[in-house]
Chains A and B, each alone.
Chain A
Amino acid sequence: MLTLLCLSILFIFREHPRVTAVQRGAVDVVAFTSNIVLAPFDAWDRLLESVRSRNALQDELLRLQQENRVLKGKAQRLASLLSENARYKALLKSARDIEDELIAAQISSVSPDPARHLVMLDKGAADGVEEGQPVLGAEGLIGQIVLVDEYNSRALLITDSAHALPVQVNRSGLRAIAEGSGDIDRLVIRHLAATTDIRAGDLLVTSGLGGRFPHGYPVARVTNVEIAAGDAFAVVSAAPASALDRGRHVLVVAQSSRFEAAVAP
């Protein structure tokens, strides 16, 4: 009986609203309990943080100030470029850019299932998070939201072997699909003709095709292009731009310029 129930849930009713409602409802409970389990570790981290030496803190402050200055300088150029771009787009009469609204979140835990790259974020529907929204790390795209509860949500990382996203080579504009490999530091592009212009070091950015990820976020850098003599396709490996297993702070893109993406070159 129960086996039958399991199998029918798995194979027939997997997308049934009641089943997903149970899964959603569990997200907050799991997040809450895991926060309790993790509390001693967090407390230990905070203790270590509070006894760091004054010198180390001053060094970090200096480093951050310098970084901030550099970033501000870049932002000035970016502002002018954005307005220039907007003018061109107005000339071309294409859709207007919508400002992306970012929600700052923290990765609170990682799913214990070793085959998946699923993480728990500490922001949920109450903060404006919705399913399908892209998640950004410090240096680029890291995943998307798959399950949302009231105060927490689960995100699937781009390296999960069930994940694939449309990308574009920044240098040549070539479009491709980057699939997760199941390794935390590797994406794979299959089915690219062996004669394609792609080299190690190329930056892959989201292409905006498919309407899920907005155009232009960095995703990965090509590390290796393997062309076996006689094969029709090259196997391209890329390393995610943002180190997926480091750092806890992420950004969820709440209002993405989804429909604008379709007119990307």
Chain B
Amino acid sequence: MTRAHAVWVIYVSLAAALLLTLLPLPMDWRGFRPDVAALALFYWVLALPHRVGVATAFTVGVTQDLIEGAPLGLSSPGLMLATLLLLYNYQRLRQFDLLQQSLAVLVLLLLSAGIEQWLRNGIDVPTVPWAGVAGMICSMLFWVPIRTVLRHSRRYYEVH
């Protein structure tokens, strides 16, 4: 394993993505907010699987819960499972073109959101059954821009 270089870029970008969830949206539009934090997490797992993994996914999930005021541990398991799948398949996903990657990301988001819904049902926290899918499709559309931005910053700061 090479020596870590400029790893702070990873954490700064994840923190910035989490800050984006704090931007105000009208009450009824909140469902369409792209899940930028999850996308940034997926990008880093895909790019640097030896640096970013399940523990980072756990941290991102807990931070999301604290931001939303949700019961602790609601978002983490889904993100962790998606990250795990990504860790097993990152070599394949790197070969995909952008459309295929976006679709794969959509599947991962659906998976993690599905687990979150299941947990929410388990402890009686309200869910949005179909608005959630619209949000995930919005997230999918944001995969390419986020990937581009993070890729540039990774190359610029030579994160590895």
* Contact for A14 among B27, B33, B71, CB less than 8 A: B71
Tally of A-B Cβ pairs under 8 angstroms: 112
Write the nearest CB–CB distance from B132 to chain A, whole angstroms: 8
Q: State whether A245 touches B73 (Cβ < 8 A).
A: no
Q: State whether A160 touches B123 (Cβ < 8 A).
A: no
Smallest Cβ-Cβ distance to A20: which chain B residue: B72
Smallest Cβ-Cβ distance to A184: which chain B residue: B27
Q: Please measure, in the bound complex, the distance between the C-alpha atom of A244 and the C-alpha atom of B26, giving whole angstroms.
A: 12
List of B residues within 8 angstroms of A115 by Cβ: 120, 125-128
From known contacts A23-B66, A115-B128, infer whether A245 and B26 are also in contact, taking CB-CB under 8 Å.
yes
Q: Please measure, in the bound complex, the distance between the C-alpha atom of A34 and the C-alpha atom of B24, giving whole angstroms.
A: 9
Counting CB contacts under 8 A, is B21 at the interface?
A: yes
Q: State whether B72 touches A22 (Cβ < 8 A).
A: yes
Write the nearest CB–CB distance from A42 to chain B, whole angstroms: 10
Q: State whether B69 touches A245 (Cβ < 8 A).
A: no
List of B residues within 8 angstroms of A34 by Cβ: 22
Counting CB contacts under 8 A, is A82 at the interface?
A: no
Write the nearest CB–CB distance from A37 to chain B, whole angstroms: 5
List of A residues within 8 angstroms of B31 by Cβ: 114
List of B residues within 8 angstroms of A14 by Cβ: 71-72, 123
From known contacts A3-B80, A10-B122, A23-B66, infer whether A114 and B72 are also in contact, taking CB-CB under 8 Å.
no
From known contacts A33-B19, A162-B125, infer whether A109 and B71 are also in contact, taking CB-CB under 8 Å.
no
Give residues 1-38 of B contacting A (CB, 8 Å).
19, 21-28, 30-31, 33
Q: State whether B68 touches A113 (Cβ < 8 A).
A: yes
Counting CB contacts under 8 A, is B67 at the interface?
A: yes
List of A residues within 8 angstroms of B131 by Cβ: 114
Q: State whether A37 touches B22 (Cβ < 8 A).
A: yes
Q: Please measure, in the bound complex, the distance between the C-alpha atom of A7 and the C-alpha atom of B132, giving whole angstroms.
A: 22
Write the nearest CB–CB distance from A8 to chain B, whole angstroms: 8
Give residues 152-169 of A contacting B (CB, 8 Å).
154, 160-162
Q: Please measure, in the bound complex, the distance between the C-alpha atom of A198 and the C-alpha atom of B87, giving whole angstroms.
A: 59
Counting CB contacts under 8 A, is B97 at the interface?
A: no
* Contact for A38 among B24, B30, B69, B122, CB less than 8 A: B24
Q: State whether A116 touches B69 (Cβ < 8 A).
A: yes
* Contact for B69 among A114, A118, A182, CB less than 8 A: A118
Q: State whether B58 touches A111 (Cβ < 8 A).
A: no
List of A residues within 8 angstroms of B126 by Cβ: 115-116, 160-162, 182
Bitwise interface map of A from 1 to 23 toward B, beta carbon under 8 Å scored 1, else 0? 01101110111001000010011
List of A residues within 8 angstroms of B61 by Cβ: 6
Write the nearest CB–CB distance from B45 to chain A, whole angstroms: 15
Counting CB contacts under 8 A, is A78 at the interface?
A: no
* Contact for B22 among A9, A109, A147, A184, CB less than 8 A: A109
Counting CB contacts under 8 A, is A230 at the interface?
A: no
Q: State whether A112 touches B119 (Cβ < 8 A).
A: no
Counting CB contacts under 8 A, is A88 at the interface?
A: no
Q: Please measure, in the bound complex, the distance between the C-alpha atom of A14 and the C-alpha atom of B73, giving whole angstroms.
A: 9
Q: State whether B69 touches A110 (Cβ < 8 A).
A: no
From known contacts A33-B19, A37-B22, A245-B27, infer whether A113 and B72 are also in contact, taking CB-CB under 8 Å.
no
* Contact for A9 among B24, B27, B33, B73, CB less than 8 A: B73
Q: State whether A9 touches B72 (Cβ < 8 A).
A: yes
Counting CB contacts under 8 A, is A232 at the interface?
A: no
Smallest Cβ-Cβ distance to A147: which chain B residue: B69
Q: State whether A2 touches B28 (Cβ < 8 A).
A: no
Q: State whether B72 touches A23 (Cβ < 8 A).
A: yes
Write the nearest CB–CB distance from A135 to chain B, whole angstroms: 15
User: Can you list the 8 inter-chain pairs with the closest CB atoms, starting with the nearest?
Assistant: A6-B73, A114-B31, A26-B66, A114-B30, A161-B126, A113-B68, A9-B73, A34-B22
Q: List chain A positions with a Cβ less than 8 A from chain B.
A: 2-3, 5-7, 9-11, 14, 19, 22-23, 26-27, 29-30, 33-34, 37-38, 41, 109-118, 146-147, 154, 160-162, 182, 184, 244-245
Given A3-B76, A113-B68, A147-B69, 4 new contacts (CB under 8 A): A3-B77, A30-B22, A110-B24, A161-B126
